[in-house]
Chains A and B, each alone.
Chain A
Amino acid sequence: MDATIENIAVSQRANLEVFSGTLQHLAQTDRDIIVVTSDSRGSGKLVPFGQKFPEQIIEVGIAEQNLVGVAAGLASAGKKVFAVSPACFLTARALEQIKNDVAYSDNPVKLIGISAGVSYGALGSTHHSLHDFAVLRTINNLIVVAPADNFETEQAILLAAETDMPVYIRFGKKQMPLLSEEEKTFEFGKGRVVREGSDLTIIGTGETVAPALLAADKLEREHHISATVVSMHTIKPLDYDLLRNIAASGQPIVTVEEHSVYGGLGEASASFLIQNDFHNRFKIIGIPDEYTVTGSQTEIFNHYGISEGGIAAAALGLVR
């Protein structure tokens, strides 16, 4: 029986809760921290924020285009704005506002895509964001981040508040295990090696890093294969130095993402590698181009091999 994220994550919080707590922490000492919501304060765990800082939360109702436009206007006047909405709506409905009002106009809004990927599970494709990495990667002047655990989420929010660039951060609502006790550095654009290995590398992002770690343990335990695991929390700018170092070993590479296999972490990595004469064996795990299966996030992950067993099997296929 495979291990699951649920039974190793009980002591940790959801990244969503960490986001909410970090924002409250920031707002205590900074009146310029402004949250803009589109009827999403409940799903964004922002009710306590609204109670404590009623003047620092702007509600626009279910109107994502206006959410992003208003956020850009606030940012242009010097506010540190977090525009919070489910990732599916934020990055599709308001894509033109992200492109023009935020990125092109260089208004440093922090776009927070909550319940990202397939977090909404059986609510279906209307509520899934499996396109966001792909579309946002093509927009100039935007940092794209998918933190894996509570630590990365907290750091990403703190950094986002300080940076003068537009940032998109997406995460889910499930409790997440801590990836690593030791390494405590976090920088946008710098992937984190959360497990050292010698036979292959598994590169995950966001909530897929945890199953990647489980898969690495399984490979070690059952097959004596030693896998490096990377949390590539920043999709753009991608950490090309780290990719180059990984590829230089000549070992196989598996990428795992809660996103379409088109246009995300895997294809971005492959594009860099092939153009730099690296020809490592390579496998992209993600959501295939099909009508997504119905189920919970975990069931969807398992169905498409974003799981201990699925990732390990893909790795074995490349190593042998």
Chain B
Amino acid sequence: MLKVMSEKELAQKSVGYRKKILKYIYQAKAGHTGGSLSCIDILNVLYNHTMNVGPGTFDSPDRDRYIQSKGHTVEALYVVLASRGFFPESDLETLCKYQSHYIGHPTRKVHGVEQNTGALGHGLSLSVGTAIAGKLDKRDYRVFTVLGDGELPEGSNWEAALSASHYKLDNLCAILDKNTLQISGPTSAVCNTDPVDEKFEAFGWAVRHVDGHDIGELVTAFDALPFEKGKPSLIIAHTVKGKGVSYMENQLKWHHGVPDQQQYADAIQELDALEVTLA
């Protein structure tokens, strides 16, 4: 059973997760830094507050499912799964190393990972199929998927969005990590998808906006699921790429930038200071 955590405890956890994301990316000299920092608060609340899944229940047919559509920000998922006890955190010392299971995208070789993702635009269809199975089997589990705003132009997302409302999948919740930056520049300049709320609403979804770094808003939104009976839910989480490290925030180069020794030290110092204020 998941321990009930206060919003303060969750906020503290997020800082710790950010430090670990940076640590393992720094050590591996590889990773998707900015996006992992933008979606970590969402994953924190999902795994420490919302979902009924843990290492002991991962084989249960009734567990809630999480499928990471934006697979590249796997470092965020790894540190959360490790903290939930799915595997020893020391495993992450092997991140991206020769013969490690801990590669740069989620795979089922890692305990706790539901689906192998990495190619964009796949998570929503996988989630729709899993949610349909739950309805067919009259099970109460819910399916969560985090989408990146950069992957929304993949047409498969919109195919899946149609099916989700066609089958009235109110057991499905997609969270859009809307950090507004992708590898080539601002998402609005690369391929504008706004107004994304109206698009999903037109596709038959119930949509809410949250500050994707406000633990309280995330908790409130997840607690309110489904937003409408008979409709899939979309949480548009407004986030900051690189959140928590001032020199990384909203800077494109940190999409998959790796900090050097000094930058790493600066980042940890900043997060340590934040930790003190939250204590």
Which residues of A are in contact with B by a Cβ distance under 8 Å?
A: 34, 55, 58, 60-61, 63, 65-66, 68-79, 96-97, 100-101, 104-107
- Is A66 touching B122 in the complex (CB atoms < 8 A)? no
Residue B83 interfacial (CB < 8 Å): no
A78 CA to B136 CA in the complex, in Å? 11
CB neighbours of B33 from chain A (8 A) = none
Instruction: List the 6 closest pairs (A to B, CB-CB), nearest first.
Output: A73-B129, A69-B125, A77-B133, A66-B159, A70-B129, A63-B159
Least CB distance from A75 to B in Å reads 8
| Minimum distance in angstroms from B219 CB to a CB of chain A | 27
Q: A71-B129, A73-B130 are in contact. Are A101 and B122 (CB under 8 A)?
A: yes
Instruction: Give chain B residues whose Cβ lies under 8 Å from the Cβ of A97.
Output: 122, 125, 156
Distance of A229 Cα from B119 Cα, bound (Å): 43
Are B155 and A100 in contact (CB-based, < 8 A)? no
Q: A105 contacts B162, CB within 8 Å?
A: no
Q: Is the CB of A66 within 8 A of B114?
A: no
Binary A-proximity of B112-125 (CB < 8 A = 1, otherwise 0): 00111111011011
Q: What are some 10 contacts across the A-B interface (CB < 8 A)?
A: A65-B159, A66-B128, A66-B156, A69-B160, A74-B129, A96-B122, A97-B122, A101-B115, A105-B108, A105-B115
Interface residues of B in 95-137 (CB under 8 A from A): 107-108, 114-119, 121-122, 124-134, 136-137
Q: Is B153 located at the chain interface by the 8 A CB criterion?
A: no
Asked if A60 and B163 make an inter-chain contact with CB atoms under 8 angstroms apart, the answer reads: yes
- Summarize B's interface: helix, strand, loop or mixed: helix
Other A-B pairs, 16, CB within 8 Å; known A66-B162, A76-B133:
A55-B136, A58-B132, A58-B167, A61-B159, A63-B159, A65-B159, A66-B128, A70-B126, A70-B160, A70-B163, A74-B129, A76-B114, A76-B129, A77-B129, A97-B122, A100-B119
The smallest C-beta distance from B164 to any residue of chain A, in angstroms, reads 10
Could you say which residues of chain A place their CB within 8 Å of the CB of B55?
none
Please judge, given known A-B contacts A69-B156, A70-B160, whether A101 and B134 are in contact too, CB under 8 Å. no
Overall SS of chain A's interface: helix
Is B116 a contact of A73 with CB atoms below 8 Å?
no
The distance from the CB of B7 to the nearest CB of chain A, in whole angstroms, is 32
Q: Mark B161-190, 1 if CB is under 8 A from A, else 0.
A: 011001100000000000000000000000
Kindly identify which residue among A63, A69, A106 contacts B129, using a CB–CB cutoff of 8 Å: A69
Contacts of B121 in A (CB 8 A): 65
Q: Any chain A CB within 8 A of the CB of B61?
A: yes
Contacts of A107 in B (CB 8 A): 115
CB atoms of A101 and B126 under 8 A apart = yes
Q: Which partner residue on chain B sits nearest A56 by CB separation?
A: B136
Contact B156 A72, beta carbon cutoff 8 Å: no
List, in ascending order, chain B residues with CB within 8 A of A34's CB.
Answer: 136
Complex contacts, B128 vs chain A, CB 8 Å? 66, 69-70, 73
Whether the Cβ atoms of A61 and B108 lie closer than 8 Å is no
What CA separation (Å) do A151 and B163 show in the bound complex?
36
Cβ-Cβ contact count across A and B, 8 Å cutoff: 102
Q: Which residue of A lies closest to B71 (CB)?
A: A100
Which among A58, A77, A100 has the highest number of chain B CB atoms within 10 Å?
A77
Which residue of chain B lies nearest to A75 when distances are taken between CB atoms in the complex? Answer: B129
Taking CB atoms, residues of chain A closer than 8 Å to B61 are: 77-78
Please, how many angstroms separate the alpha-carbon atoms of A159 and B108 in the complex?
25
Contacts of B156 in A (CB 8 A): 63, 65-66, 69, 97
Query: B108, A73: Cβ atoms under 8 Å?
Result: no
Bound-complex Cα distance A267 to B131 (A): 42
0/1 string, B131-152, CB within 8 A of A gives 1 = 1111011000000000000000
Q: Which residues of A contact B118 (CB under 8 A)?
A: 100
Whether B159 contacts A77 by the Cβ 8 Å rule is no
Instruction: Determine if B126 and A77 form an interchain contact, defined as CB atoms under 8 angstroms apart.
Output: no
Mark B231-249 against chain A: 1 for CB-CB distance below 8 A, else 0. 0000000000000000000
CA of A78 to CA of B61 in the docked complex: distance in angstroms? 9
> Whole-angstrom distance between the alpha carbons of A153 and B162 in the complex?
33
Give A66's nearest chain B residue, CB to CB.
B159
| Cβ-defined contact, A73 with B131, below 8 A | yes
Q: Which residues of A contact B163 (CB under 8 A)?
A: 60-61, 63, 66, 70
Question: Which residue of chain A has its CB nearest to the CB of B114?
Answer: A76
A96 contacts B130, CB within 8 Å? no
A69 to B117 Cα, complex, angstroms = 11
Chain B residues within 8 Å of A77, by CB: 61, 129-130, 133-134, 137
Give the docked Cα–Cα distance between A96 and B155 (Å): 13
Q: What are the residues of chain B within 8 A of A69 when measuring CB–CB?
A: 122, 124-126, 128-129, 156, 160
Q: In this complex, what residue of A is CB-closest to B124?
A: A69
